[in-house]
Amino acid sequence: MAYLFGRKILLDIAQEPTADAATIARIRARVFRGGQLYGTQARAEKEMALIQRSFGNAVLWKFAEDAWGVVTNAEASALYGPPSSQGKRFEASRISFKVKRTSDGKPNKCSIQLYNPSPDTVTLVQDRRAIVRLFGGYDFAWQLFQGNPIKDGVNIERGGPDRILSLELQDGKHGLSKRINLNFTTNTKLSDVLQAISEQSGLGLGFVADLEDVDLPYGIHMDGDPHEALERLAAMSNADFSVQDGAIQIVKTANDTGEPAVLLSVKNGNLLKVARKDKGRITATALLNGTIRPGRRFVVQSEYINGIFKAIDVEHTGDLFEDAFTTTITAHPWTPPSPSSTSGAVDSKLVDAIIRKVIAAGLMYDSFASAQNRANRLDFAAAKDNVRIARFLYASEIGPTQSFGIVTKAEAAKLEKNGVAIFLVGAKQ
C-alpha cells in the first residue's frame, strides 16, 4: 500500500476557544514578534507549510478577521482551553472521512467515522457549540474541513467489535443558519455590506479580493438568511461565493484565488488518474492534498492531458486502514488574463508563454514580498544572480491587478523589452 506509513489524520473536537484574554494576548504577541501573523489565511498557510516541513509543529490559528497566525501545537492547545473540558484531539485512533467542497454557494459537507470513542467524546460533540476540525495528508496534515454537526448528525453504531461514532458536518452551519437584518439608508459600498454580513452571521472573511467595491447610492436592505444575502452580493460582482472553513470566499468565474498553482504530475507520482469531461472540464484524482480548494489553480502533467486548471469542486477521502487517501478535483481550463496595456507589452504570446511556465513551476505569487521571500530561500542561493522578479499587470473590471513571478535572467530581458517591470532579488518594489 503506497505511502501508507507517511499518512496522517488528526481530528479536533472542541467548543469555541475559551482561553482567557491574557493567554490569547501573550500568544498573539509571540506570533507577531516572530513575524508569523498575516492578514490573509492564504499567506499564513504558506508559512505553516514551510514550518511543517522543517519542524512538523505548526497549527493555523485565526486571531481576528484579518489576523491569521502560525502557532505551535502547545499554543493551540492553550488557545482551545483545558483539553479535559473544552476539547479533544485524536491522532492514533482509526478515523475515516469524506469531505466535499464546492464553489457554488452550497455548504461544504463532511462525513467522519471515529472508531471506539469514549463517552466523554460523544457528549462533547453533541454540544451545540461543538466545532470539528479535520486534518490529513502525507508527512504533515493540512486542514481538510472545519464545521459543525448538523441536526441528528451524531450517531453511534456497532461495526463488529467496534463502536463507531458517525458525524455528519456542515461548514459554517451556525453562521449560515442565523438571520441577518441590514438596512443601509445612505450611500454605501459592497465591502461595507459584506463586513456587516460577516459580523451578524459570525462567518469570517477569507478570499474576497474579487468583490467589486461598487457604490450603492441609495443604500441597500437585506433581511433573511446570510446565504441569500451573499448570493446577492456575489451576483453584483459577477462572481461565485462559497464558505470555506467558516470564512466567506468570493471568486470571479474567470479568476482564481491568486495562490501559487499546485503541480499534479505522473512523474512525481502524486497524480493517480485524470479524465476529460464535457465542456472542457476534467476530473483529476491525486494523493490527498488539503491545499487544493475550490478556486485554486493547479497544473496537470500526464501522458494525454496537460495544462493549467481551476478547481471547481474538491473531494477528499481517507482511511488509514484502507487504500482510500485521495483528493478528487472537478476543474475547468484556466487561461491567464491578457497582459494589461499598462504593462506596455508588445509580444503578448511571449509574455503569456512565460506566465504559463512560471505558474507551472509554482513560482507565481500574489505579492512582491512573497516572491522575494521565495527567491531568497536556500534553494535559490546558488542561482540568485540568474533570477529576477517580474511584475505582471492585468486588466480587470476593477482596474489593473498584479502578480509577481520568479523568472530567469534571460526571460527577464525578454519581458523587459515588452514593458514588464523587472526587479533584482533583494531590491525594493
- Please provide residue 125's backbone torsions phi and psi, each rounded to the nearest 5 degrees: -75, -15
Q: Which residue has the higher pLDDT, 351 or 360?
A: 351
Q: Which three cell numbers stand for residue 81?
A: 482551553
- pLDDT for 380 equals 52
C-alpha count within 13 angstroms, C-beta hemisphere, residue 98: 5
Average pLDDT over residues 191-201: 86
User: What percent of the chain stands above pLDDT 70?
Assistant: 84
- pLDDT for 26 equals 75
- Neighbour count for residue 119 (Cβ, 10 Å): 8
Nearest C-alpha neighbor of 54 from the set 140, 134, 138, 142: 140
Name, of 13-27, 79-93, 266-280, 334-348, the range with top average pLDDT. Answer: 266-280
Q: What are the residue ranges of CATH 3.55.50.30 in the chain?
A: 175-252
Question: Cα separation of 70 and 59, whole Å?
Answer: 6
Q: Which helix (H) or strand (E) holds 234?
A: helix 226-236
Question: Cα separation of 398 and 406, whole Å?
Answer: 25
Q: Which residues of 271-295 are buried (b: 16+ CB within 10 A; e: fewer)?
A: beebeeeeeeebebbbbbbbbbbbb
User: Considering the domain 175-252 in this protein, what is its CATH number?
Assistant: 3.55.50.30
pTM: 0.71
Nearest C-alpha neighbor of 112 from the set 93, 99, 121: 99
- Please provide residue 39's backbone torsions phi and psi, each rounded to the nearest 5 degrees: -85, -15
Q: What is the largest CA-CA distance in the chain?
A: 71
Chain CA centroid to CA 426, Å:
28
Helices (H), 270-360: 348-360
Contact 376, 426 (CB under 8 A): yes
Q: Which residue has the cell 476539547?
A: 87
Q: Which residue has the higher pLDDT, 406 or 17?
A: 406
The edge-to-edge listing of strands for the beta sheet with 401-408 is 364-365, 401-408, 387-394, 421-424
Nearest C-alpha neighbor of 126 from the set 159, 108, 152: 152
Alpha-carbon distances, residue 256 vs 1, 98, 147, 194 (angstroms): 35, 25, 24, 20
Question: Cα separation of 203 and 250, whole Å?
Answer: 13
Q: Which three cell numbers stand for residue 27?
A: 500568544
- pLDDT for 345 equals 46
User: What percent of the chain stands above pLDDT 90?
Assistant: 17
Is pLDDT at 115 greater than 80 in this prediction? yes
Average pLDDT over residues 194-215: 80
Is pLDDT at 141 greater than 50 in this prediction? yes
Q: Which three cell numbers stand for residue 256?
A: 482564481
Question: Cα separation of 295 and 287, whole Å?
Answer: 19
Is pLDDT at 400 greater than 50 in this prediction? no
Cα angle for residues 49, 54, 56 (degrees, 5° grid) = 70
The 10s digit of each residue's pLDDT in 77-86 is 677 654 444 5
Question: Cα separation of 421 and 343, whole Å?
Answer: 8
Question: Cα separation of 173 and 398, whole Å?
Answer: 32
Question: Cα separation of 358 and 337, whole Å?
Answer: 14
Q: Which helix (H) or strand (E) holds 38?
A: strand 37-38
67 SS3 class: strand
Question: Cα separation of 70 and 140, whole Å?
Answer: 15
